[in-house]
Amino acid sequence: MGRRRAILLSCAAFCIPVLAGAAMTTPASAGPPRSGVTLTLLWRNDPHEIPALRRVIAAFHTQLPAVTVHLRVVTWNDYEPTLSAMVAAHTPPDLFASLGASGFVDYALRGLGLNQQPFIAADRYDLSDFYPAAIKALRWKGQQLALPLGGGPSLLYANTDLLARAGLSAPPTDWDDPTWTWDRMVSYARKLTVDSTGHTADDPRFAWRHTVQWGIDPGLWPQNAYAWLWGCDWFPTTHTEQPPRGEKEKGHEEDGHRAEESNPIKPPMEGGHATVDINPMNSARR
């Protein structure tokens, strides 16, 4: 396929990484390609992302007419199987991203990413537009295997009006504040959980099947954030496979199940999540 060049798609700075496939070769020298080059970009069929992505590709082709970008679009469910099949067939995509069920670390462990540092150096590509932490997060064993496309923080929201109505002070904003404990959080949640007759979860007359207001929506992300609550993790940094659960974590999980059986507080079946659109292709920055 001749000498290929990485396309540096920088739409903003989770983190959604954009990786250059390992089949691409390191640039011999700077400068645009002089002969026709075709690059395959694997993406998911998001109705908001695809139109914006086509505009990015068109703008790129205007700058480098010798390069044709073939956009292959699959469903979210088919993204990982398609990527694996293309790799197994020795026809991996030249560019892909963490758009399915997997992520950057898995791709790095499987050797699917190409070190983009030589391309960055050859093109004198300015990385100052990215958050430094996002760039650092996509380095693997000293190699820059990807560039960030989107990112966002993990947030905790509190309804100050409901807290004031229940006579409760706002939760502390200091992560290390020792006064904010699990028991205190549960106590807050019970006082803020109300049934259709106005009884809170602290009231023996409370009917949880008729709950109209939930005190807390414990929708944490990523999933191992639940383990972080107890100061541990499902995936230690020294292993690549999930180890057996420790007695400490297992004990806390069992305590949680027992509490759930006797505690009328349950998360809402729908709604309740405050979400922030972090995808630059869905935002006004296009």
37 and 139 part of one domain: yes
Q: What is the DSSP string of 129-192?
A: TS-HHHHHHTEETTEE-EEEEE---------HHHHHHTT-PPPPS-TT-TT--HHHHHHHHHHH
Rounded to a whole number of angstroms, the distance between the first and last alpha carbons of the chain is 31
135 and 40 part of one domain: yes
The region, left, alpha or beta by phi > 0 then psi within -120 to 50, assigned to residue 72 is beta
Residue 276 lies in a domain: no
Residues found in the chain: 286
- pLDDT, position 271: 34
The sheet carrying 16-20 orders its strands as 67-74, 37-44, 95-97, 16-20, 146-150
Q: How many domains does the chain have?
A: 2
pTM: predicted TM-score of the whole model, two decimal places: 0.60
- pLDDT, position 236: 65
35 and 133 part of one domain: yes
CATH number at residue 127: 3.40.190.10
Distance CA 268, CA 217 (A): 7
Distance CA 199, CA 166 (A): 12
124 and 20 part of one domain: yes
CA 202, 203, 209, 213 torsion-angle sign = negative
Please check whether residue 253 is in contact with residue 24, taking contact to mean a CB–CB distance below 8 angstroms: no
**Domain containing 38: what range?**
16-150
Distance CA 238, CA 145 (A): 20
Residue 282 lies in a domain: no
Per-residue pLDDT of the chain (286 residues), as tens digits, is 333 333 233 222 234 566 666 555 545 555 666 678 999 999 999 999 999 999 999 999 999 999 999 999 999 999 999 999 999 999 999 999 989 888 888 899 999 989 999 999 999 999 998 989 889 989 999 999 999 987 777 677 889 999 999 999 999 988 889 998 889 989 999 999 999 999 999 999 999 899 999 998 877 777 777 787 777 887 766 544 444 444 444 444 444 443 443 344 444 333 333 333 344 444 433 3
